[in-house]
C-alpha cells in the first residue's frame, strides 16, 4: 500500500476517534517559558528576557521556510523549478543522482524512506547533509546511488518533490553544508513592542547569541529522547525500550497519552501491544518496528533498539546536547565566563567527557561507557567542538500587521528557534489569542520572487494551527 493511502487510513481512523471524544485531541497553546526551557538545559538570566513579547511560530508550515546553503554558498531554493538542472549535466553513466528535495509537513527521514521504497533501493543509498524541520517548508540537496532515472521521474508525493536533477560521483556527506537560510514569519499579539524588538535584535547582531540546542533536538512533542539516550549509555536497554514505548510526552495530546498508558499496562505482551499500535503504521512507525521485533525475540532489547538505528543516534546526540546546554547555563547562572567552544560527549577522547564530569556523575555515569554503545556500530564517534555563541546574518526584516518577517542565515548546527528565543517567548500549537492566520507568501512580501505555485503545490497537506484539523479533513 502507498504511503498516501496509509496516511489517509490513519486520518480516517483518527476522525472517528475524535468524534467519540474530541477533548482527547484538544491542543492547548504551548509557550516555551523559562520552566520548559530549563527542562532541556536552557537558562536565560532575567535581564535577557526583559521586554520580550510573545511570538507564534508555524501557524502555517510556510511561515517557516528553510533553504540549505552549500559550502560554496549556493542556496537550495524552495521554488518550483525544472526537473533537470539547467546548468549541470546528467549522464546515465554516472553512479550518483543529485537532486534538490523540497518538502512540507514531513521529516527528511520520512521523505527518504518513501523515495527509497519507490525506487526499490536501500535508504542508505540516499544521503543528505542535515535534517530539516518537519513542520515547515524546506529544501536541501540529496544524493541517490544505484537508481534508475526513469524510476526517479515516477516519484510523486503530496509531501515533497524533486527538482534540479544532475549526476556525478560520490555522495552528499553528513555535515557538508555551510548553513541554512531562513525566511520566517513570527506572528505577534498585543504584547509586541517594535522598539524593544529592534533594540534586542541590535544587541544580538553586535554580541551574538548563546548557541543552545533547542527543543527540536529533543523530540517534539515528547521532549524526552535525551533520557532514552542516557539509558542506553547506562546499558539499561530494557528501560530504554519501556520508556520509548510508554512514557507520556509532555506535549502529546490526551489521546496518545492514553495509548502510552495502555502500552505500559501490556508491556511484554507483544501481540497485544502490536494490536494497540496497528492503526498508526506511520505516526508510530518506530514503535511498531521495535514491537514487531520483540514479538519474535521477546527478551532481545538490544536487537529491538537496533531496528531504529537513526533514532538511537538521535537519542544519544540529544543527551550530549542536553549536557552542552547545561554547561552553558551553569556558567550563566554562576556568572562565569562561558568557554568559546565546548565538546560533545560522543567522542573517544576522555577530555571531552571531563568537561561534564559533575553532570555525568549526577546522571549515574562514572566512566566512559563505550561497551554499552558497542551494540550500535552506526553511532558516529567523532570529536566535535561546538561554538557556545553564534552570530546571525540578517538579510531583511519587515514588520507587517500579522507580525515580523525575518530573513536571515545561520551556520550549520545552529537552530533558528535558538536565535528567535532570544527575541520572543516562542509559542506553538493552537494559539488562545486571536492571532491572524491568513496565509502569506513571505518571499513576495519581502520583494523576492513569489512562491505562490509552491504554496498551491502543498495546499492539500497544509493547515493553520488555528483550525481544527479534523474539521478540515471532514
221: preceding bond cis by omega (within 30 degrees): yes
Give yes or no for a contact between 45 and 183, defined as CB atoms under 8 angstroms apart: no
User: In DSSP terms, which residues pair with 163 in a beta bridge?
Assistant: 100
Separation of alpha carbons 409 and 304, rounded Å = 39
User: 377-387 b/e with 16+ CB inside 10 Å = b?
Assistant: eebeeeebebe
C-alpha cell belonging to residue 141: 540537496
Separation of alpha carbons 345 and 320, rounded Å = 6
* Strand intervals (E) in 70-224: 96-104, 126-128, 137-145, 160-168, 179-188, 209-210
* Beta-carbon contacts of residue 235 (< 8 Å; ≥ 6 apart): 369, 371, 372
Domain extent listing, the chain: 30-62+180-211+390-473, 74-177
Alpha helices in 84-185 (DSSP H): 108-119, 149-153
- SS3 of residue 159 by DSSP: coil
Separation of alpha carbons 86 and 67, rounded Å = 19
Q: What's the pLDDT at 48?
A: 64
Q: What's the pLDDT at 143?
A: 97
- Decide: pTM greater than 0.85: yes
Q: CA nearest 465: which of 132, 133, 63?
A: 63
One of 3.30.1490.190, 3.40.50.2300, 3.60.110.10, 3.30.70.3160 is the CATH number of 74-177, namely: 3.30.70.3160
Alpha helices in 306-411 (DSSP H): 309-333, 351-354, 357-362, 370-373
- SS3 of residue 234 by DSSP: helix
Q: What's the pLDDT at 159?
A: 94
**What does the chain come to in residues?**
474
- Within 10 angstroms of residue 250's Cβ, the number of other Cβ atoms is 15
Give yes or no for a contact between 60 and 472, defined as CB atoms under 8 angstroms apart: no
Strands 96-104 and 389-390, sheet pairing: unpaired
Separation of alpha carbons 55 and 435, rounded Å = 10
The gap from C-alpha 343 to its chain's centroid, in whole angstroms, comes to 22
User: In DSSP terms, which residues pair with 404 in a beta bridge?
Assistant: 186, 399
Q: What's the pLDDT at 216?
A: 86
Q: What is the DSSP letter of 460?
A: G
Q: What's the pLDDT at 34?
A: 82
Give yes or no for a contact between 385 and 342, defined as CB atoms under 8 angstroms apart: yes
Q: What's the pLDDT at 26?
A: 83
CA dihedral 323, 325, 326, 329 (to 10 degrees): 160
pLDDT in tens, the chain (474 residues): 677 788 889 989 999 999 999 999 887 778 888 888 999 999 987 666 667 889 999 999 999 999 999 999 999 999 999 999 999 999 999 999 999 999 999 999 999 999 999 999 999 999 999 999 999 999 999 999 999 999 999 999 999 999 999 999 999 998 899 999 999 999 999 889 999 999 999 999 999 999 999 988 998 889 999 999 999 999 999 999 999 999 998 889 999 999 999 999 999 999 999 999 999 999 999 999 999 999 999 999 999 999 999 899 999 999 999 999 999 999 999 999 999 999 999 888 888 888 899 999 999 987 777 789 899 988 888 888 999 999 999 999 999 999 999 999 999 989 999 999 999 999 876 776 678 889 999 999 999 999 999 999 999 989 888 876 655 544
Amino acid at each position: 500500500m502507498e504511503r498516501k493511502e496509509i496516511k489517509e487510513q490513519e486520518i480516517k481512523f483518527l476522525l472517528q476517534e475524535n468524534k467519540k471524544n474530541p477533548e482527547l485531541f484538544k491542543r492547548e497553546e504551548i509557550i516555551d517559558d523559562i520552566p520548559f526551557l530549563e527542562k532541556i538545559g536552557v537558562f536565560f538570566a532575567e535581564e535577557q528576557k526583559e521586554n520580550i513579547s510573545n511570538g507564534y511560530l508555524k501557524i502555517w508550515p510556510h511561515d517557516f521556510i528553510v533553504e540549505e546553503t552549500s559550502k560554496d554558498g549556493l542556496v537550495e531554493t524552495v521554488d518550483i523549478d525544472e526537473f533537470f538542472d539547467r546548468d549541470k549535466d546528467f549522464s546515465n553513466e554516472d553512479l550518483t543522482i543529485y537532486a534538490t528535495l523540497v518538502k512540507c509537513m514531513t521529516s527528511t527521514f520520512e521523505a527518504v524512506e518513501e523515495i527509497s521504497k519507490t525506487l526499490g533501493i536501500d535508504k542508505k543509498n540516499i544521503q543528505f547533509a542535515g535534517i530539516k524541520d518537519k513542520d515547515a517548508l524546506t529544501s536541501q540537496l540529496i544524493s541517490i546511488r544505484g537508481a534508475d532515472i526513469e524510476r526517479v521521474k515516477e516519484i510523486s508525493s503530496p509531501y515533497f518533490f524533486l527538482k534540479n536533477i544532475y549526476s556525478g560521483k560520490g555522495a552528499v556527506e553528513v555535515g557538508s553544508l555551510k548553513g541554512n537560510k531562513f525566511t520566517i514569519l513570527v506572528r505577534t499579539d498585543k504584547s509586541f513592542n517594535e522598539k524593544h524588538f529592534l533594540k534586542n535584535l541590535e544587541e544580538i547582531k553586535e554580541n551574538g547569541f548563546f548557541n543552545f540546542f533547542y527543543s527540536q533536538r529533543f523530540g517534539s512533542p515528547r521532549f524526552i529522547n535525551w533520557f532514552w539516550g542516557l539509558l542506553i549509555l547506562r546499558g539499561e536497554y530494557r528501560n530504554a525500550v519501556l520508556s520509548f514505548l510508554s512514557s507520556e510526552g509532555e506535549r502529546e495530546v490526551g489521546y496518545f497519552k492514553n495509548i502510552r498508558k495502555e502500552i505500559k499496562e501490556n508491556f511484554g505482551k507483544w501481540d497485544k501491544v502490536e494490536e494497540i499500535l496497528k492503526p498508526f503504521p506511520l505516526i508510530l512507525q518506530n514503535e511498531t518496528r521495535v514491537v514487531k521485533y520483540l514479538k519474535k525475540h521477546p527478551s532481545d532489547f538490544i536487537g529491538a533498539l537496533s531496528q531504529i538505528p537513526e533514532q538511537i543516534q538521535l537519542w544519544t546526540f540529544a543527551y550530549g546536547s542536553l549536557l552542552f546546554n547545561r554547561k552553558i547555563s551553569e556558567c550563566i547562572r554562576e556568572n562565569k565566563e562561558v568557554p568559546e567552544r565546548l565538546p560533545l560527549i560522543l567522542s573517544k577522547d576522555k577530555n571531552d567527557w571531563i568537561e561534564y564530569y559533575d553532570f555525568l556523575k549526577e546522571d549515574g555515569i562514572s566512566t566512559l561507557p563505550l561497551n554499552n554503545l558497542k551494540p550500535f556500530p552506526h553511532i558516529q564517534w567523532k570529536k566535535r567542538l561546538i561554538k557556545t555563541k553564534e552570530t546571525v546574518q540578517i538579510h531583511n526584516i519587515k514588520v507587517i500587521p500579522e507580525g515580523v518577517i525575518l530573513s536571515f542565515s545561520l551556520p550549520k548546527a545552529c537552530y533558528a528557534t535558538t536565535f528567535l528565543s532570544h527575541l520572543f517567548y516562542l509559542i506553538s500549537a493552537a494559539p488562545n489569542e486571536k492571532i491572524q492566520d491568513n496565509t502569506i507568501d513571505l518571499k513576495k512580501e519581502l520583494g523576492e520572487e513569489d512562491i505562490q505555485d509552491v504554496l498551491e503545490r502543498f495546499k492539500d497537506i497544509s493547515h493553520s494551527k488555528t483550525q481544527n484539523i479534523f474539521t478540515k479533513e471532514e
